Chains A and B, each alone.
Chain A
Amino acid sequence: MELLALVLIPFIAAMLLLAFRPAAMARGIALVSTLLSFALVLWLWYSWNGSMVIGVSHDWVPAWGMRFVLGYGGIGLLMLILTGLLFPFIIGTGYKQPVGDPSLVNALLLFCQSALFGVFLAQNAFLFYVFFELSLIPIFFLLMFWGGAHKRSITIRFFLYTLLGGLALLFSVAYVTLQTPVPHSADFTALAALDLPMNVQVWLFWTMFLAFAIKMPIFPFHSWQPETYTMAPTQGTMVLSAVMGKMGLYGIVVFLFTIVPEGALHWSSWVIGISLFGALYAAVIAFRQNDFKRMIAYSSMSHFGLMCAALFTWNAYGISGTLYQTLAHGVLMVCLFYIVGAVAQRTGSTDFAGMGGLKTKMPRMALLFMFVTANAIALPLTQSFVGEWLMYNGLWQWNNWTAFAGVALIVLGAIYMLYAYQRVMLGPDRAIDVTDADDEEHFFLVPLIAITLLVGIFPNVILHVVDGPVQQLLNSFTSLP
């Protein structure tokens, strides 16, 4: 029941916002709703016993194997923690950086959270698909209504592109469901039990992977991302990069690794190759970007490339590292885009040209940004370091040379992040009228930075959640023929 509640709390709150349009209180209601959801997630975490939990199981369209099954294991739980933790902050962004009609904006964000909880709870492939696509709709409106320049053409391109991936996924889900014995079942457990012939797995891998590759995105399926992130309102960008991209990584684990494991193994070198290439490619591009927000967009793409590569290394370090990193990356992206928004609000645009020398007038903001930068370049004792360290180990165990390519990112990351920091904060005072970070902004960033450091010092808190499930996953691989 509590699993259904997780999907329903944000949904009902969103409906209330739409029905009553309480403009003044909309953010408060949304915040309470997300905090409630987060409390529920924490309770699920606390009461979790390490095994798969099925909460709701209901027939839906039996002929097609569609069932309404909600449940979670360790990996799903991590995604719930990610979604539950970050949405209060994403909603909270609206206090200081408001955009549009608060009732509508917050309703859309809550719809999105509801769908995302659905994605991470769904234990049936069709149900997953439905939530996967549902999450796109509120974001579409958010971007369409409150995006920046060229919002219509960019939003439509983004929407069509991701929809294309979604359709390929729908086809794959229908196909594999029909392979199950009658009565068909699209439950993940039933699909995992399938032993599809190798020649099928080889092509089915791509029809599924396409959806997730576009969602993250990784090179060369990324062309929607930089412009969409740049023009989207801050909250939209946060949802896209911090949470929705993770659907791609999560999807790879629950679809590719369980339904077509041999196909995935077959293509691993290719995926690792293009992911790492894309990671390096994006990291190089990020260096000379003239727009702060687009620069962060490319850095996000670079991180996704590394995460995707490490996921396909078939060992505990690569997979656990990637899963751990989904949370770290989410926290990082919310922090970074918040700072971009906060600075742009003061200088009038996200262009680096209008920034520089802000530290003199904004020493407190500069310090907060320095903490976030430390996390972005994965200094030890920040959250990101542990994930990167594990991912490099995963890559090394897969193939030494992939680790060499991956580790180049720690240099590239330092190059573009420190350059960005300098272009925003350092240099002679620009004599423009800006105010320092106020209490509200501290109230937003300090808890996130605290999480960054605490998890960086005690990473086992998160690693414990995924360690067991990843071991089980790996054991199922070793039993492959």
Chain B
Amino acid sequence: MVKLDLLAILVPALPLLGALFIGFGRRKLKGNSAGMLGTALVLGAFICSLILFLGRDGQTHIVHVFDWIKVGTMDIPFAFQIDALSLWMMLIVTGIGSLIHLYSIGYMHDDPRVATFFAQLNLFTFSMLLLVMGANFLITFIGWEGVGLCSYLLIGFWYTTPEFNYAGRKAFVMNRIGDVGMVLAMTLMFYTFGTLNYVDIMDQAGSFAPSNPLIITATLLLFLGATGKSAQLPLLTWLPDAMAGPTPVSALIHAATMVTAGIFLVVRSSVLFELAPYTQDVILWIGVATALFGATVGLFQNDIKKVLAYSTVSQLGYMFAALGVGAYSAGMFHVTTHAFFKALLFLAAGSVIHALGGEQDIRKMGGLKKTTKTTYITFLIATLAIAGIPPLSGFFSKDGILASTFQDSPFAYGILVFAAMLTAFYMFRVLFLTFFGSYRGTAHPHESPKVMTVPLMVLAVLSAIGGALNIPHIFGGHEWLKVDLGTAVEGVLGEHMALSASTEWMLMALSTALVLLTIWYTWTLFGKKTTLDGEPADMPFLKRLIAKRWMLDELYAVLFEKPFGWLSRNLFGIGETKVAVPLTVGSGKAAHGVAEWLRKMQTGNTSFYLFGMMLGVVVFLLITLFTA
């Protein structure tokens, strides 16, 4: 047990040490030393996680570090929960994390603030580990806010550009709107259960009847938190803007790990969500709507990172759709494969951007498959994976989600299949425009250094074979991941596939055929383009709307941003300047005025005083007369 405790503490402690050491020593660390150190520490955390993972025994272990908040009857320990779910997330975070750290050594090589970058990246890894390892909601919330801060810092890493700073603030504030839900959910749960420990809450929740209003409220509030962090409707507009950050940040934070925190949270509290069918419906339809939203917007974006960002939004929608129908292991499986292929897509896109000296517009790319061969092959594998081509990883994980939703709601299934076709379209559009045809830009493309391409190759292998983690029964697999997670997540083992094998085969064949058809169509449009037609002057209304991202940003500006600024200015300009202060000053002036007036009576004129006295006597007499 001592070994488990020590390892569990080491996992977050190593990146924290890295953040502190690199952060405070940032002036002394020259060249690649900051990057090497940061990468080594995250790799160390990965090794610790791996040892813990290999030695797991299917039990839930609580590692109590110290008492954090203890007041009244509130007792919130600083403790970690080690079980199959947290171990799996730890592997993803530290595994993908070390690859992206390694890649960043090359990518950030020329940046003068490279040490600061690695300090913040390590701090992010630490926060993310707290998030997934916490034994109660509040420890998770430390990580939850910590990753938000790191995301803010890293989006605005190049702080001299005002738009980047705005994007960072936007991300943080939208996340905080979600956090309102999270904080309220925690206060409600503390009020209801008297504890925030996952184990105790899940134990006690068993005694609640399904659809208890308290549970429904708590789960809806938790889901509000999840929509903020995981960029679901309506809190998603920050994620595309977050692409302002360096590309490794987009890969690690805004694709592979942080944005999946919302999914983790729901899976972690699956017992509660199982008791709230209403919330599950909300999750399903928000997920489906977001999957469609992201996929449509991805169609006409020309910034390679923006396409990938909307693709992330869309894929997260898939994961939530799975959670909405109670398919937790399918959701977690897609979290895993998505971490592989989306991190790869971003890193490969970063490699392209690096090769072209910062160019992100796919209209100015083309023909790069010759000059950047490794990048091209890895990007191709990731694209095939995300499109769901068998036998790559995305095929299995997406198929799991589609099959689960089909038995719950064929309509949702239909939308998700349509979104999968759109996914294939926008991804292959990017692939063809970037790597096929002939080069349309002016830079001199060159392949990235080994330190960047090696992580690409590792991720490409994972994207290709990652499906093996959870091969369904119809392929003769044993759904390894599902069985493993089943030891930790309530409701996973109960997820039974009611579909007959023939229905499953048919659904699979249908979606694969439709995707292949879409790819062929995309090839005819973009495959052999050597020059690009200009945008037609009069696009149809729907296309224009989608190209403008459904005007969501504009809508929020009109609905919230501008009125809030107006309110802020006017509460001060009117409420404070014209009312509050003048009232105080006025009351002083009034007192002064009364005094001025009273002073005038002190004329020094004896007859005036006598007159006043007589007047008083008369009034007094009259009063006594009439009241007598």
A interface residues, Cβ below 8 angstroms from B? 157, 160-161, 220, 222-224, 226-227, 281, 284-289, 315-317, 320, 357, 359-360, 370, 374, 379-381, 386, 389-390, 392-393, 396-397, 400, 403-404, 407-408, 410-411, 414-415, 418-419, 422, 425-429, 457-460, 463, 467, 470-471
Q: Check if B190 is an interface residue, CB within 8 A of chain A.
A: yes
- Chain A CB within 8 A of B187 CB: yes
B191 within 8 Å of A (CB atoms)? yes
Q: Is B180 an interface residue (CB 8 A)?
A: yes
Are B71 and A379 in contact (CB-based, < 8 A)?
Answer: no
- Interface pair A220/B580, CB less than 8 Å apart: yes
Given contact pairs A379-B145, A403-B184, A459-B68, A161 touches B173 in the complex (Cβ within 8 A): no
B183 A389 Cβ-Cβ under 8 A = yes
Q: What chain B residues lie within 8 Å of A415 (beta carbons)?
A: 169, 173, 564
On whether the beta carbons of B72 and A422 are closer than 8 Å, the reply is no
- A463 and B584 within 8 A (CB): no
> Is B266 part of the contact surface with A, judged by Cβ < 8 Å?
no
Q: Which of B564-607 contact A (CB under 8 A)?
A: 564-565, 567-569, 571-572, 575-576, 580-581, 583-585, 588
Q: Does B138 contact A (CB under 8 A)?
A: yes
Q: Of B70, B564, B580, which is within 8 A of A222 by CB? A: B580
Closest 8 CB pairs of A and B: A316-B72, A288-B568, A380-B142, A396-B187, A223-B580, A287-B568, A223-B584, A463-B71
Decide if B180 touches A285 in the complex (CB within 8 Å): no
In B65-87, the 8 Å CB interface with A consists of: 66-74
Q: Which of B73, B187, B588 has the most CB of A within 10 A?
A: B187
How far does the Cβ of B165 sit from chain A's closest Cβ, in whole Å?
Answer: 5
A residues in contact with B188, CB < 8 Å: 396, 400
With contact pairs A284-B567, A287-B564, A407-B184 given, residues A320 and B165 touching in the complex (Cβ less than 8 Å): no
Chain A: which residue is nearest B591 at the CB level?
A: A160
For B46, the chain A residues whose CB sits under 8 A away are none
* Stretch from B154-162, B430-438, B461-469 forming part of the interface with A: B154-162
A472 to B209, CA, bound (A): 37
Say yes or no: B584 contacts A161, CB within 8 Å. yes
CB distance from B12 to the nearest CB of A (A): 12
- In whole Å, how far is A100's beta carbon from the nearest beta carbon of chain B? 27
A-B contact count (CB 8 A): 142
B interface residue numbers (CB < 8 A to A): 66-74, 138, 141-142, 145-146, 149, 152-153, 156, 159-162, 165-166, 168-169, 172-173, 176-177, 179-180, 183-184, 187-188, 190-191, 564-565, 567-569, 571-572, 575-576, 580-581, 583-585, 588
Q: A287-B564, A410-B176 are in contact. Are A422 and B169 (CB under 8 A)?
A: yes
**Complex: chain B residue closest to A409, CB-CB:** B180
Task: Apart from A288-B568, A467-B72, list 6 A-B contacts with CB within 8 A.
Answer: A285-B575, A288-B572, A392-B187, A419-B169, A460-B68, A460-B69
| In the bound complex, CA of A390 to CA of B196 (Å) | 13
Closest to A320 in B: B71
Contact B69 A403 (CB under 8 A): no
Q: In the docked arrangement, what's the CA distance between A289 and B169, Å?
A: 17
CA distance A422 to B73 in the complex (A): 40
List 13 A-B pairs, Cβ < 8 Å. Answer: A157-B585, A160-B588, A285-B571, A285-B576, A316-B71, A380-B141, A392-B184, A393-B187, A415-B169, A415-B173, A418-B172, A467-B71, A467-B72
Interchain CA distance A227-B585 in the complex, whole Å: 13
* Chain A residues with CB below 8 A from B152, complex form: 418
> Chain B interface mostly helix, strand, loop or mixed?
helix
Indicate if the CB atoms of B67 and A460 lie closer than 8 Å.
Answer: yes
Q: Which residues of B contact A460 (CB under 8 A)?
A: 67-71
- A422–B565 alpha-carbon span in the complex (Å): 16
A411 contacts which chain B residues (CB < 8 A)?
173, 176-177, 179-180
A429 near B160: Cβ-Cβ < 8 Å: yes
Q: Which of B67, B73, B180, B183 contacts A316 (CB 8 A)?
A: B73
A463 touches B70 (CB 8 A): yes
With A161-B584, A392-B187, A396-B188 already in contact, the answer to whether A463 and B69 are too (CB < 8 A) is yes
CA distance A59 to B168 in the complex (A): 62
Q: Which residues of A contact B190 (CB under 8 A)?
A: 393
B556 to chain A, nearest CB (A): 14
- A404 and B177 CA atoms in complex are apart in Å by 12
A287 in contact with B565 (CB, 8 Å): yes
Residue of B nearest to A460 (CB): B70
Contact of B572 with A157 in the complex, beta carbons under 8 Å: no
Query: Is A288 in contact with B173, judged by CB distance below 8 angstroms?
Result: no
Most chain B CB within a 10 A radius of its CB, from A403, A411, A460 = A411
A330 to B149, CA, bound (A): 23
Closest residue of B by beta carbon distance from A467: B71
A226 to B581, alpha carbons, bound, how many Å? 10
Q: What distance in Å separates the Cβ of A368 from its nearest Cβ neighbour in chain B? A: 13
Docked Cα-Cα span, A333 to B71, in Å, equals 25
Contact of B159 among A379, A426, A471 (CB under 8 A): A426
Known contacts A316-B73, A359-B159, A393-B191, A157 near B588 by CB under 8 Å = yes
Chain B residues lying within 8 Å of A457, measured Cβ to Cβ, are 68
CA distance A320 to B584 in the complex (A): 34
Residues of B within 8 A of A223 (CB): 576, 580-581, 583-584
Q: Given the complex, which residues of B lie within 8 Å of A426, measured CB to CB?
A: 156, 159-160, 162, 165
Q: Are B160 and A397 in contact (CB under 8 A)?
A: no
> In the bound complex, what is the Cα–Cα distance between A374 and B172 (angstroms)?
12
Residues of chain B within 8 A (CB-CB) of A320 are 71-72
Q: Which residues of B contact A288 (CB under 8 A)?
A: 565, 568-569, 572
Q: How long is the Cα–Cα vector from A76 to B454 in the complex, in angstroms?
A: 62
Distance between A285 CB and nearest chain B CB, rounded to angstroms: 5
Contact B160–A414 (Cβ < 8 Å):
no
Residue on A nearest B160 in the bound complex, by CB: A428
Give Cα A317–Cα B191 distance, bound, in whole angstroms. Answer: 11
- Across the interface, B142 reaches (CB within 8 A) one of A287, A359, A381, namely A381
A316 to chain B, nearest CB (A): 3
B141 proximity list for chain A (CB < 8 A): 380
Which B residues are CB-close (under 8 A) to A227? Answer: 581
What residue in chain A is nearest B67 (Cβ atoms)? Answer: A460
Minimum Cβ distance to chain B for residue A267 (Å): 22
In the complex, which residues of chain B have a beta carbon less than 8 angstroms from the beta carbon of A392? 183-184, 187
Chain A residues within 8 Å of B581, by CB: 223, 227
- B159 neighbours in A (Cβ, 8 Å): 359, 425-427
Chain A residue at smallest Cβ distance from B584: A223
Q: Which of B162, B565, B575 contacts A427 (CB under 8 A)?
A: B162
| A410 contacts across to B, CB distance below 8 A | 176, 179-180, 183
